[in-house]
Structure 1
Amino acid sequence: MLISGSGLFIVITALAFDALIGDPDWLWRRLGHPVALIGTLIDTLDVRFNKDGQSPQQRRSAGIASTAVLVVIAGAVGVLLQAIAQQLPMGNIITALIASIFIAQRSLYQHVDWVRSAFADGGLAEARDAVALIVGRDPEQLDEAGVCRAAIESCAENFSDGVVAPVFWLALLGLPGLIAYKAINTADSMIGHRSERYASFGWAAARLDDLVNLVPARLSALLLAVAAPIAGGSVGTSFNVVRRDASKHRSPNAGWPESAVAGALGLALAGPRRYGEQVVDDPFLNAEATRPAVPDDIGRALDLYTAACVIEAAGYAALALVV
């Protein structure tokens, strides 16, 4: 399904379903979330093909093959689900409902908002517990400004990975594209890091994730920059920070939405941070902003995020009128 009128209807309806329903915990506690099933498949491939004693080249080859198998299975499931849904009454509505399961629009807002609420309810200690659910860095090493920056950075990066990118691939390739994207992104989060076990085996997943996020990351920065006035920022400033700083991030994609948010909020984001025993010595994005982040800035980031989601949906709706 390349972009079409019916495909765009599915996109808009999926966004609406996700905004209204999100991820009902009561359902997925009983059934298991489909993304968790993807994670189980990745674990199975890891245990089966990523063996101790293999050379780095053997592990890389096994990782390439495993990633290919994962993408083929995910795409095939998407083809099957879409074919079944389209044979049923209200097939586009059913397809949109399935698609909404793989979009993190509402759940991302909720998780970031929990960090803001935790500051009010229990102070820094509770906020550290809340932010630990959405970032990989050691929360005990974070002061108030560090917790706030971590929540804001997670909101920015996951706007791209959890909202813009899955919707982009849904619009372009339907459910097969959406589910394949989620499989790639999940694989990157599980095996795409540079530990001894995964530096070679996860290489293909990490590089493929970089590739499929190239366009969505830049689209995310555009949406966030355009929404900057909602958070009291400037469209021009946000664009200027993106243009200057996006490439400074160690990720070829994460720097785009993060620098857009940094410029929109007037905060320095990224910079040095600790993940377990590993210290990532990255430069700051929007380094000239010296005001420390505070809990109210998380609320401003959520306002920015909400506005960008609305602009995204409006953009797809406008595109539907001309396709």
Structure 2
Amino acid sequence: MFLAVALAALIIEALFGYPQALVRRIGHPVMWIGALIAWADAHWNRASDSFRARRVRGVVLVLLLGMAVASVGLALAADAHWALPEPFAALVLGLVASSLLAQRSLDQHVSAVASALDKEGIAGGRRAVSMIVGRDPESLDQAGVARAAIESLAENFSDGVVAPLFWLAVAGLPGMLVYKALNTADSMIGHLSERHRAFGWAAARLDDLVNLPASRLSAVWLVLAACVIPGAAPREAIRAVWHGAHKHRSPNAGWPEAAMAGALGLRLAGPRVYHGQIVEDAWIGAGRAEAEARDIRRALSLYRAACMIQGLVIAGLVIAVSQ
């Protein structure tokens, strides 16, 4: 049943995404989760409190948030199974779950960076890439803008597409919701800043843990995609993952970024600027650092093929299980 829901969610999101009309009218599930986290951050993370007290409250937040969204997922799944025959219940739950996938919106945002670079030059590229990365856009030249877009595509393929789908297939809608809650908490409070070093500790550690299987799986999908995309290099993708994935400051992001870098003959990561501070990260991949808009489009072709391969594997599993 979980696999059928995952397949339905993948197809619905690929075809329709999450309509902007719904965002304007009722918001988005991640926005609702984010509002709860923001409230807790404002009320439970006071600078006057001790480091220990703030860390404990951060742990409590993660536990309460996980229980809350899991309860919602269980209630929705139970209602669907009670009210509808299994195929229709899977379709309805897939429709709900599709709102927590980002394959279509990720494609659109990264495509916008390539288009902006072509039509408006560096100024347009910086503006477009600022919508999807946290680094200082004014510090980026054209190659930096292109690399930032490709890195965001690779990383978000893992935590915005593969990971939520993985947890949906493994643990149903409750598992997917818990994953999205942890991932949202990490993006909001899981930083090493003075304010969030204690309060966001639990969110950051758990997000690393729940993203571990999907980050490795996303690298597999990208390597397989490199086998079918003309000009891509699957052997170099494997080599880059083997030698470079561990060099990334994130225990997970290096896997899809390395696979993408190797497949496209690029170097990704490297030194970057966040909030005026230079972060001296290692380069990943042995290719060229001078990326262009056409490289973003090549990365998008690889990404789309990886999404298709993932969908075909899930469809195959659904058929196999139903036999």
Instruction: Place the TM-score, normalised by the shorter chain, in its bin.
Output: over 0.9
Distance in 2 separating the partners of 1:77 and 1:282: 40
Aligned position for 1:267:
266
Cα contact 1:166–1:181 (8 A) shared by 2: yes
Aligned position for 2:33:
38
> Offset at 1:46?
1.1
SS at match of 2:83: coil
Q: What are the superposed Cα offsets for residues 191-244 of structure 1, whole Å, 9 maximum, x if unpaired?
A: 001110001110100000000001000000010011114152221110111011
Distance in 2 separating the partners of 1:18 and 1:277: 37
> Offset at 1:43?
0.8
Segments of 4+ in structure 1 off by > 4 A? none
Aligned position for 1:124:
122
SS at match of 2:232: coil
Cα contact 1:231–1:264 (8 A) shared by 2: no
Distance in 1 separating the partners of 2:75 and 2:39: 22
SS at match of 2:273: strand
Residue of 83, 107, 114 corresponding to 1:88: 83
Distance in 2 separating the partners of 1:110 and 1:85: 32
Distance in 1 separating the partners of 2:77 and 2:35: 22
Aligned position for 2:52:
57
Cα contact 2:146–2:293 (8 A) shared by 1: yes
> Offset at 1:277?
2.3
Map residues 1-323 of structure 1 onto 2, 5 A cutoff: 6-89=1-84, 90-229=88-227, 230=229, 232-286=231-285, 288-323=286-321
Q: What are the superposed Cα offsets for residues 22-61 of structure 1, whole Å, 9 maximum, x if unpaired?
A: 0211211111111100000101111221112122122111
Aligned position for 1:3:
none
> Offset at 1:278?
2.5
Shifted more, 224-233 versus 176-185: the winner is 224-233
Distance in 2 separating the partners of 1:136 and 1:228: 28
AA in 2 matched with 1:141 = S
Aligned residue pairs, count? 317
> Offset at 1:121?
2.2
Over the matched positions of the two proteins, sequence identity in percent amounts to 53
| TM-score, with length taken from structure 2 | 0.96
SS at match of 1:274: strand
Distance in 1 separating the partners of 2:319 and 2:134: 41
Cα contact 2:268–2:289 (8 A) shared by 1: no
| TM-score, with length taken from structure 1 | 0.96
Q: Structure 1 residues 22 and 135 mapped into 2: Cα distance closer, same or farther (>3 Å)?
A: same
Shifted more, 87-96 versus 257-266: the winner is 87-96
Cα contact 1:231–1:265 (8 A) shared by 2: no
Shifted more, 252-261 versus 113-122: the winner is 113-122
SS at match of 2:23: helix
Distance in 2 separating the partners of 1:321 and 1:81: 25
AA in 1 matched with 2:146 = C
* Two-structure CA RMSD over aligned residues (Å): 1.0
Distance in 1 separating the partners of 2:94 and 2:107: 20
